[in-house]
Amino acid sequence: MTALLSAVDVQRFYRRGGIFRRGERLHVLKGATLEIGRGKAVGLVGRSGCGKSTLGRILLGLERPDWGSVFFKGKDISAKDGGEFAKFRKSVQVVFQNVQGSVNPRMTAGEIIGEPLRNFFGISKREAVERSRPLLEQVGLKGSDADKFPPHFSGGELQRVCIARALAPEPEVIVFDEAVSSLDMVVQARVLELVQKIRDERGLAFLFISHDLRVVAGLCDEVALMDGGVIAARERSVATLAKTGGATIARMLESLPPAGPGERAFR
């Protein structure tokens, strides 16, 4: 069976700064290959700056790889024409870490969630806002919240609005890029519960990008470790990854904060 969404041997370079001379070239992805199966929750873990978000953006079609390709349902996305690409965009949605930065403060929650509905289903603005209300209820907010503006939501509530927006076009994959990292612990736990619920009810495929192994362990069917610009290891759980992932995963595990005072919890 072909994977739903996959990156094959993807390479990506960036040029760093450099105002007066050409910046130094950074080889961020050095041939990364990652597959996301239908309905599978895949965790992508790694140190910050290892390129995991870049791979996420390439899988989303937000950035083009310098080498290698991204396949959606077996077809190269760079070969897709306008209509087909729109279908791909509808099927692959994203939730980012920076919630305030990923919503327009001048739009109501209803309009924010309604935007993809209008884009992909060609419905009127009013209808889109009405259809946003049940979505808001699904993510644990009230239908009447559709008329509120972003500054009136807390960080956790706004992240729910972003999740509702990602769910709106009925996608097949959602990429969560550090989606709970900037939330406080209680709110983070609630948002994770919501993500679990959506996973169980809808059978969506997830790519969950995080540097926090604790978050990924509870959520994912498979865990991939990114290290040195490639997917260094891929296993069914963090525990098995701990045995095969080498020094990087060992360091990530031992640096997790302990479960309680006086404990050295994770090894």
Partner 1 sequence: MKALLEVRGLEIETAARPARELVRGASFSVFAGETTCVVGASGSGKSLSCLSVPGLLPPGVRKTGGEVRFRGERIDNLPKEALRRLRGTAISMVMQNPMSCFDPVFTIKSHFLETIAAHERLSRREADEKMMSALAEVGFDDGAKILAAYPFQLSGGMLQRVMLAMALSLDPALLIADEPTSDLDTVAQARVLDLMDAARRGRNMGVLLVTHDFGVAAKMASSIVVMDGGQVVETGEAGAIFAAPVHESAKALVAAHEKLCAPLAAEGVEV
Residue 125 Cβ, how far from partner 1 at the closest point, in Å?
33
Four-point Cα dihedral 225, 180, 41, 139, nearest 10: -170
Nearer to partner 1, 171 or 245 (CB): 245
Q: How many CB atoms lie within 10 A of CB 21?
A: 7
Could you tell me the two tokens for 178?
């550090």
Which of residues 100 and 124 has its CB atom nearest to partner 1 in the complex? 100
First-to-final CA distance of the chain: 36
Q: How far is the CB of 46 from partner 1 (least distance, A)?
A: 9
Minimum CB distance to partner 1 smaller for 106 or for 264: 264
User: Whole-angstrom Cα distance, residue 150 to residue 145?
Assistant: 10
Least distance CB 181 / partner 1 (angstroms): 9
Residue 47: DSSP 8-state:
-
What would the two tokens of residue 92 be? 């692959």
Residue whose entry in the numeric block shows the structure tokens 């997917």: 231
Cβ distance to partner 1 smaller for residue 166 or 238 = 238
For partner 1, the closer of residues 85 and 266 by Cβ is 266
Shortest Å distance, C-beta 9 to partner 1: 26
Q: How far is the CB of 159 from partner 1 (least distance, A)?
A: 12
User: Count of CB atoms within 10 A of residue 261's CB?
Assistant: 5
Tell me which residues touch partner 1 (CB under 8 A).
17, 47-49, 154-155, 182-189, 211-215, 217-219, 237-239, 242, 251-267
Task: Identify which of 191, 201, 185, 232 has the alpha carbon closest to the alpha carbon of residue 45.
Answer: 232
